[in-house]
Amino acid sequence: MSLTGYDFIKRLESYCPPFLAEKGDPVGLHIGSLNRPIKRVMMTLDVRPEVVKEAIEKDVDLIVAKHPPIFRPIKRLVTDDFQTKMYADLLKNDIAVYAAHTNMDIVNPGLNDWFLDMLEIKSFDFITKTHSFDYKKLVVYVPRSHSQLLRDALAKIGVGQIGENYEACSFTQTGIGRFKPINNAKPYIGEKEIIEEVEEDRIEFVFSELIEKEVMTILHQIHPYEEPAFDIFTLDNLKQEFGIGRIGKLNEPMELMDFVKKVKQTFHLDGLRLVTDTKNKTIQTVAICGGSGEKFYKDAIKKQADVYITGDVYYHTAHDMIEDKLTVIDPGHYIEEVCKVKFVEMFNQWKAENGWDVSFIISETNTNPFEFI
């Protein structure tokens, strides 16, 4: 089936919601329009002039990027400047650009989870909490003929998911519902002015407040009654929390310098920066935050990390890290290119599930501005 940019991004945002992005992060559509069919989508880390040239040569309709191309307001649109000429080239060739930035870091599983997987580390927590949402309980009374229909429809949108390992959870109790239609009622069951008794199921579901609107839509679509009887409660004992960065443990303790070699091999690095008060130590608990995550290092300490992996560490912050007895590995910002392969794998899975007539490609342009010599 043909696919519009709008429908594709709707699917992407259902996995990687913009509301998870940090405050002020300009995620979303940056250039062009999504209201047209797309045939070729390219995934990239950065949107640079050489990436745009590649997209034009490969007849790309939509670029999905980790780093937003317009991070600060544009003051002038003059094509003598290489950056604004890039925007003009995108518009001229009708190429839309969409960015998912810190929401890609925060979503679970997301970029930081993939980093730990590559390092063979089992994640057990995030570093810094960024969002917290309530869970709610829906209690609805429905005739038995529609119970399974309702359970199935709500499960498809995530109702009844508890933790990472259980979904489609609900509780059902059967009883007798009584009602008398009056005035202008058009009852699905029974007649006006006559008390009706119906065998009904009382079904309880747990769901995130984030999908409450969809829950209500499906409830009214599936439930056969004009006036469905239901209650919604906010739960005090359950929250849906998200955070940036991840922390986990190696299967066995490892010498620091052996782990440094493992990081270099895993991310195919010619070099990296090490911040430590001593190289002669054993580590096991590892925290990681892709990109520039130095501002979260004190939270990594609170989570008892032996070593923290993040990029772009500032000179004076490195001194503070040493004073705080935290070992830090700075592999640079470009390890985030992992997102290109991982997201295209996901896009192709969605393509197979939905029968999309579209091609997904990985940008072959190396946008790393640094090299070790």
Going 337 to 342 to 347 to 348, the CA torsion angle's sign is positive
User: Angle at which helices 82-92 and 49-57 pack, to 10 degrees?
Assistant: 20
Residue 262 token pair: 């493992």
How high is the pLDDT of residue 76? 87
**Tokens 């998911």 correspond to what residue?**
161
Residue 361 token pair: 């490609």
User: What is the SS3 string spanning the chain?
Assistant: CCEEHHHHHHHHHHHCCHHHCCCCCCCEEEECCCCCEECEEEEECCCCHHHHHHHHHCCCCEEEECCCCCCCCCCCCCCCCHHHHHHHHHHHCCCEEEECCHHHHHCCCCHHHHHHHHCCCEEEEEEEEEEEEEEEEEEEEEEHHHHHHHHHHHHHCCCCCECCCECCCCEEEEEEEEECCCCCCCCCCCCCCCCEEEEEEEEEEEEEHHHHHHHHHHHHHHCCCCCCEEEEEEEEEEEEEEEEEEEEEEEEEEEHHHHHHHHHHHCCCCCCEEECCCCCCEEEEEEEECCCCHHHHHHHHHCCCCEEEECCCCHHHHHHHHHCCCEEEECCCHHHHHHHHHHHHHHHHHHHHHCCCCEEEECCCCCCCCCCC
Model confidence pLDDT, tens digit, residues 205-262: 999 999 999 999 999 999 999 999 999 999 999 999 999 999 999 999 999 999 999 9
Model confidence pLDDT, tens digit, residues 80-124: 988 899 999 999 999 999 999 999 999 999 999 999 999 999 999
Confidence of residue 147 (pLDDT cuts 50, 70, 90): very high
d(CA 96, CA 75): 21
How high is the pLDDT of residue 363? 98
Calculate mean pLDDT across residues 158-173. Answer: 93
Going 13 to 17 to 19 to 22, the CA torsion angle's sign is negative
Domains of the chain: 3-105+337-362 (3.40.1390.30), 107-129+243-333 (3.40.1390.30), 130-241 (3.30.70.120)
d(CA 52, CA 149): 48
CA count, 13 A, side-chain hemisphere, 199 = 4
Which residue type, as a one-letter code, is found at position 12?
L
d(CA 139, CA 83): 55
How high is the pLDDT of residue 326? 98
How high is the pLDDT of residue 1? 79
Q: Are 191 and 222 in contact (CB under 8 A)?
A: no
Model confidence pLDDT, tens digit, residues 354-365: 999 999 999 999
Q: Check residue 63 and give left, alpha or beta (phi > 0: left; psi -120 to 50: alpha).
A: beta
CA 82 to chain centre: 32
d(CA 261, CA 336): 18
How high is the pLDDT of residue 338? 97
Which residue type, as a one-letter code, is found at position 2?
S
Confidence of residue 164 (pLDDT cuts 50, 70, 90): confident
